[in-house]
A and B are shown apart, each in its own frame.
Chain A
C-alpha cells in the first residue's frame, strides 16, 4: 500500500507573527519557515507504517511556491521515499488544494492519505475533509491512534468530549492530531540521502485543476490588544480584587 502525505510549508511555530502595515497580510520576508507541525506528525506516522511493513512506499506532496521543495526535502529526510511539488504562486485555498491532491491520488492510487488536522498559518482545518469528499473515501479527523486491520482502518479520534473510535473502509483519509506520535528529527546522513531522492515537479495546469480563489482576503489586521494588568502581592489581595474590583467571584 502506498501512503500519500500532503505537507505544507508555514511560518515556524516559534516565530512571532507580524501584520503588515498596509494590512495586506502578514510579514513573510526573512521569516523562518518550517514544515507545519501537524504535517510532521503525518510524515512520522507514514514512515512508521513503512517500517512496520504495512506501507510499501511513502510519497510526500506539497502545493505551493518553489521553496516548498525545502519542506519536501525535510519529509524525505524523515524517511519518505519520493516527493511531488505542485508548483504555483497562487495563494491556494483548501478547495483548490483538495482538487490538486485528488488529481495526484488518481494517478498514484495510494491506499491511505495522512494529513495534518490544521495548518498553523491559515488555521482552516479543512483540507483532509475536502479531499476525502472529492475522492468519495472515508475520513477520520483528529486522529490520536491509527491501526491498519486487514482492509479496514481503526482510528481513535480526539473529539470535544474525549475520544471516539471509528472503523474505516480503505482507501481512507486521516487527519492527525498532536498525540498521535512524536516526530523524529532527521539525522545528518538522512538529510544527505534525501538530496538524492526523486522530487518531481508538476503544475496545476498539468493536473487540469482550476485554482482560482473563491474567498477574497479583504484585509488582515492586528487583533485587539489586551491591557497589561497588575501584579498582586498575595492570595488575599487577589481574592479581594476578584471580588470587589473585577466582581467575577
Chain B
C-alpha cells in the first residue's frame, strides 16, 4: 500500500510545507513500503498538479478538479479523502492551518484517531509528537488500520521541488456538500520570505510598544532577507497581524537564526521557536527567561540596539 499526501495550494502554486510532508511520506514509505502519492484537489489547478509531479519522490499525482475544491473547504475535501483512503496505509498533511482543518475531519469520517503534528517517525505506526507546548515529547503508536497524520514542517527537510516525473491521474470529485461557502480572504501581503520556511526570522514582542516601531525590525529584516514574526502579546495589542504569531498556538519556526526582540520568553512562545539553530535575544531585563534559550543574549534597550544592529549589518 502507498502513502497519500494531501497537498495544500492556492490553485496557482503549491505551499512550501507540501515538500516537508513529502519527505515525511518518503520516510514512512521506508518503513511501510509502497509509493508516495499526492492529492491535488482544486479549481482549475492543473498547473499545481504539474508542479506536484516534479517533486522528487512522488510516484503519482491524483488531481480532482471542481469549484467545490476552490478554497480548501474541509466539508468538501474530507469526503474526497475518505473515498481515496482505502487504498493507502497512511494519509498525511502538513500541520498548517489547512492540514489541521481538513485531516481530523476526514479521520472522524473514517473512524480513525489521527495523530497531530509529529516531529519524528519511529516506524510505520509509531511517531513522536510534542505535547504541553513542547515541554514533553510523547511517543505514540497508532492501532488504526489506516493512519492519518499531520507533520510538523520544521521537523522534516523539504523534498527537492524538481527531479521527479510522476504521472498525473484525474480522480472524480466527491461532490459539494453545500455546508459552507467561502466568502473571501484578507491575506497579509509581504515581499518577505514566508515565516515558517525563512532562514532568518526576527520577531518583536510587547517591548516594541507599537506597530509603527516594527519598522525598525523591517529595516533589519531587509538587510538579512529575514521574515518577521511576533509574540502573542504583540499580536493581541494589534501591533501586527495574527499570522505573525510564533508559538504553541501560532506558527512553529526553526530557522538558522531567530532574533527575539523585546520578548520575555514565555513557554508558549518558546514552543514555537526553540528548535531554531541559533537564537539571539535582545531584552533590557537580564532576568528575562528568553536568555535561558538564547545562544547570544544582549541586555540592552531595543530602541538603541536595533538601529545599531541595522547599521552594523552594512559593515
> B-contacting residues of A (Cβ < 8 Å)?
11, 13, 16-17, 19, 26, 38, 93-96, 98, 117-118, 120-127, 129-134, 136-142, 144, 154, 157-169, 177-179, 213-223, 226-232, 234-236, 238-239, 241-242, 246, 248-249
Contact = CB atoms under 8 A, between A and B. Distances in A.
A140 B181 CA distance: 11
A228 B243 CA distance: 29
A133 B108 contact: yes
Given A129-B101, A248-B257, A163 B185 contact: yes
A122 B132 CA distance: 6
B200 A248 contact: yes
B215 interface: no
Secondary structure type dominating chain A contacts: mixed
Interface string B79-121: 0000000000000000011101111111111011111110000
A160 B179 CA distance: 23
B263 to A, nearest CB: 15
A133 B105 CA distance: 5
Contacts of A120: 132-133, 248-249
Given A95-B111, A242-B278, A221 B136 contact: yes
Contact of B182 (A94, A166, A231, A249): A166
Contacts of B130: 123, 223
A165 to B, nearest CB: 4
B184 to A, nearest CB: 5
B220 to A, nearest CB: 11
Given A239-B313, A246-B295, A161 B182 contact: no
A216 B104 contact: no
Given A141-B100, A220-B137, A238-B298, A169 B108 contact: no
Contact of B297 (A163, A214, A229): A229
Given A131-B108, A164-B182, A179-B236, A16 B298 contact: no
A162 B278 contact: no
B1 interface: no
20 contacts: A26-B135, A95-B113, A122-B131, A160-B251, A161-B188, A161-B243, A166-B180, A167-B180, A214-B113, A215-B140, A217-B139, A220-B136, A226-B292, A227-B295, A231-B286, A232-B298, A235-B308, A239-B313, A239-B315, A248-B277
Interface in B197-220: 200
A136 B177 CA distance: 9
Secondary structure type dominating chain B contacts: mixed
Contact of A117 (B75, B144, B249, B292): B249
Contacts of B235: 178-179
A166 B42 CA distance: 17
Interface of B: 73-75, 78, 96-98, 100-109, 111-117, 126, 130-144, 178-188, 196, 200, 224, 232, 235-236, 241-243, 248-249, 251, 256-257, 267-268, 274, 277-280, 286, 291-300, 305, 308-309, 312-313, 315
Given A154-B183, A159-B243, A166-B180, A129 B108 contact: yes
A214 B186 CA distance: 39
Contact of A162 (B98, B140, B186): B186
Given A95-B113, A117-B249, A216 B141 contact: yes
Given A129-B105, A141-B100, 14 more contacts: A94-B104, A98-B108, A122-B131, A123-B132, A158-B242, A163-B187, A177-B249, A218-B126, A228-B292, A230-B296, A232-B296, A232-B298, A246-B257, A249-B313
B104 A130 contact: yes
B75 A139 contact: yes
A217 B140 contact: yes
B108 A95 contact: yes
Given A120-B248, A138-B75, A141-B101, A249 B116 contact: no
B183 to A, nearest CB: 4
Determine which residue in B101, B112, B187, B224 has the highest number of CB atoms from chain A within 10 A of its CB, and name it.
Answer: B101
A164 B242 CA distance: 12
Contacts of B257: 242, 246, 248-249
Which 7 pairs show the lowest CB-CB distances between chains A and B?
A229-B295, A130-B108, A133-B108, A129-B104, A214-B113, A138-B179, A126-B104
A229 B232 CA distance: 25
A214 B145 CA distance: 10
B308 A125 contact: no
Contact of A160 (B74, B96, B248, B292): B96
A179 B185 contact: no
Contacts of B294: 229
B296 A121 contact: no
A249 B241 contact: no
Nearest to A152: B181
Contacts of B182: 164-166
